[in-house]
Structure 1
């Protein structure tokens, strides 16, 4: 005899016993059928002498230690009563969650779709501030490009999100000749191979007016590790090149609004809004150098934003986003940008010469560790002065050893044109304000004396 069992479980609330055909009711019916079968077998064997030995399973006679067939069934088949079988089946099914059963939606036929569909309110016009920000983004997003270092490739992880290597970032269209400005560290991996000018070091994606990304080869024009800036060139048509407008970073004020556009984590053309939260910050670049005059902002800047623009409320470029202060690898509300005043001074030189021509004194200065050990607390200590150099001709003295082997300190530059110099880094910052050939007045400390020496700055080596 075959017994078919169909189990339909409905999980729609706590009153499961009131539902149709719950699984426990079907199990109870099954247990009742087994009990009826057992009772039928006992009735059929009534008056018969049946037995079964426990040793070899053979049917014996009445004098054996046996009973009727119903007793045999009771001994051989466990849980022959309805209650015990129901309990055993319940325990066996207990670990399985309700989600393994097929759900049946009850619905509410008393309502119509129109009755439960809400009224959609018209969006209306944007507030003036929202409209202005939206217009600034639409206007400037075409001036922002996506840059991929050719030596690196993005990888797809198991969650479907794109992992962005350090060499992927953003850039800005500088002019209609195809020059693209970005950070040095965005293409640092390719630059580490010492490429020649004109060599392809990156892939550049430019957004067209139809919303499609156009891919171009980014050829190296010039790079400046000291200021974390680099210039690429792409062979793109003029209709794709929309140069960004450059503003003045020198007139910025803490608290004014700013916008950052870039490609954080591979999400192209992303806008974040914030305020200028600090000025004249020292930026510790990923290339290992310190950049002075940095702009601090709370506009979210994440990996992939590097090289993108920081805009003022008029849509003018006031900085190139370059770094974030973080302990987790994501934005912590403290981002930094290279001021446009530095960018304007560096980029034209990179385009014309492929490098930056800096003014300098061209002497060797003592590292901060040595100056501290020599008890020099203020100024830049000169270690060596090349022979026949302008510095030597101006009368600057190096650090030497005396006859007894003691160290004789050289000249300590304390100021340039009455601008104080606290250490070597401060001196390099001041050099950014001058050009090769400029004449300056150095205020130096020599022993216990203070002297002033005129010096013509030369090209930094």
Structure 2
């Protein structure tokens, strides 16, 4: 508890060197500010600023004070580590500090320029984030970050800059690989993790360049898993990660870290009615990244497995309209692409128009009856149509044969499909 003593009665005021003493104090203080500013490497700017702000308030008399300005110099300060007290932080803070220490050296800023015909640097400007994939100079980012760009500047943690070029992109997974000349750069690749190990509620962190603020760390949790994310193409990305770490324009292409500092996703989108973050971020999972990126580096393209069906998730409320048991679950096939792998393998789509007992069912149930209900892919049980997409994207490749269990006319039927290559998608 702090105690205060009663002040003594002040002695009669004397006239003397009061103003001069006050000015001397000002000079000493400002000289100290100059020394402090030099210690921080900023020169005399701060002291001059304080002088400008404070001197007019001294009084009615106008007084000019010359403040000696020290020459900029470098101070070598030796500190005994044993004399420093350890800073105590809680566990949550320590984990985030460790994530940043591990991941930040691998995160880059990606500035893109679109050629306007005469000078590419005078054309359109875009910005995103990315991360170092390997010591050969490969950089991973989003396909939409580099779309239409013909010049890219890559800025590293230490503020050094390099010119990058696009090696390859895969718009269907919104991933791209860039390349710089690695000579002379201290490239520190990320450590890739396993997004399939994530669970809802686990801690995640994002490092990137939101609104041009490079090397920014934000943190949050996994909000949900297995989301399906729209892309620039007609295909969607299954198995996507939903998280709530603050994410804004400029974060696209940056890494999503787990609490071990491993990359478990590539930040791709936010869901918001405005351009700023509203609590929902989506990332391409590392299960897809680890398949797509090596292929883009080695061959310049990634071939997605293709079944050739359209469908929907089956709900028990649709059982009567689709003539299926209420206890069934899976991916209902509404349409089979003519000539595609599913058609060649004998998979059946809807063949009759559905009759609904109420208008509500028209918005819930598929409009066609008679289609196959896929309940399993190999031993993998399906609960939704998204589960089917997830299995194909995570575990399958073109040319693989997959065994499907389908419910058809009240019986379980085994159908073997040889998967094809997904038709390519060109972007304008």
- TM-score, length-normalised on structure 2? 0.62
Displacement, 1:144?
Answer: 0.9
Aligned match for 1:203, one of 106, 128, 153: 153
1:145 corresponding residue in structure 2: 108
Does 1:227 find its partner at 2:177? no
- CA contact under 8 A between 1:221 and 1:232: conserved in structure 2? yes
Displacement, 1:187?
Answer: 1.4
Q: Structure 1 residues 336-345 or 132-141, which shifts more?
A: 132-141
Partner secondary structure for residue 195 of structure 2: coil
- CA contact under 8 A between 2:304 and 2:398: conserved in structure 1? yes
Displacement, 1:243?
Answer: 0.5
2:274 corresponding residue in structure 1: 328
Relative distance call for 1:445 and 1:254 in structure 2 (3 A) is: closer
- Number of aligned positions between the proteins: 312
- CA contact under 8 A between 2:171 and 2:232: conserved in structure 1? no
Aligned match for 1:168, one of 93, 109, 127: 127
Displacement, 1:136?
Answer: 3.5
Partner secondary structure for residue 192 of structure 2: coil
- CA contact under 8 A between 1:166 and 1:186: conserved in structure 2? no
Relative distance call for 1:399 and 1:145 in structure 2 (3 A) is: same
Does 1:183 find its partner at 2:134? no
2:333 corresponding residue in structure 1: 380
Whole-angstrom CA distance in 1 between matches of 2:297 and 2:227? 27
- CA contact under 8 A between 2:172 and 2:232: conserved in structure 1? no
> Structure 2: any 5+ residue segments left out of the alignment?
1-54, 62-82, 117-123, 325-330, 353-367, 424-428
2:346 corresponding residue in structure 1: 395
- CA contact under 8 A between 1:380 and 1:422: conserved in structure 2? no
Displacement, 1:288?
Answer: 6.3
Does 1:297 find its partner at 2:243? yes
Aligned match for 2:261, one of 315, 318, 327: 315
Relative distance call for 1:230 and 1:298 in structure 2 (3 A) is: same
Relative distance call for 1:381 and 1:201 in structure 2 (3 A) is: farther
2:401 corresponding residue in structure 1: 439
Determine which structure has more spread, i.e. the larger CA radius of gyration.
1
Aligned match for 1:451, one of 395, 405, 413: 413
Displacement, 1:381?
Answer: 2.5
Does 1:105 find its partner at 2:65? no
Whole-angstrom CA distance in 1 between matches of 2:380 and 2:195? 21
Alpha-carbon RMSD across the aligned residues, in angstroms, is 3.7
Whole-angstrom CA distance in 2 between matches of 1:123 and 1:330? 41
Displacement, 1:296?
Answer: 2.2
Relative distance call for 1:339 and 1:108 in structure 2 (3 A) is: farther
1:126 corresponding residue in structure 2: 87
Displacement, 1:415?
Answer: 3.8
Aligned match for 2:390, one of 411, 422, 429: 429
1:213 corresponding residue in structure 2: 160
Relative distance call for 1:329 and 1:381 in structure 2 (3 A) is: same
Relative distance call for 1:107 and 1:347 in structure 2 (3 A) is: same
Displacement, 1:344?
Answer: 0.7
Whole-angstrom CA distance in 1 between matches of 2:151 and 2:310? 35
Does 1:416 find its partner at 2:377? yes
Mapping 1:4-153, distance limit 5 Å: 105=57, 125-128=86-89, 129=91, 130=93, 133-151=96-114
Relative distance call for 1:450 and 1:234 in structure 2 (3 A) is: same
Relative distance call for 1:415 and 1:243 in structure 2 (3 A) is: same
Cα shift readout 1:405-442 (whole Å, capped 9, x = no counterpart): xx995655454225455776543332112123333222
Relative distance call for 1:413 and 1:238 in structure 2 (3 A) is: farther
- CA contact under 8 A between 1:249 and 1:340: conserved in structure 2? yes
2:230 corresponding residue in structure 1: 284
Which fold has the larger relative contact order, with Cα–Cα distance below 8 Å and residues 6 or more apart in sequence?
Answer: 2
- CA contact under 8 A between 2:333 and 2:350: conserved in structure 1? no
Partner secondary structure for residue 379 of structure 1: strand
Whole-angstrom CA distance in 2 between matches of 1:419 and 1:279? 17
Partner secondary structure for residue 189 of structure 1: coil
Whole-angstrom CA distance in 2 between matches of 1:397 and 1:132? 51
Whole-angstrom CA distance in 2 between matches of 1:334 and 1:123? 42
Relative distance call for 1:245 and 1:184 in structure 2 (3 A) is: same
- CA contact under 8 A between 2:238 and 2:389: conserved in structure 1? no
Displacement, 1:342?
Answer: 1.6
Whole-angstrom CA distance in 1 between matches of 2:342 and 2:191? 41
- TM-score, length-normalised on structure 1? 0.58
- CA contact under 8 A between 2:206 and 2:218: conserved in structure 1? yes
2:364 corresponding residue in structure 1: none
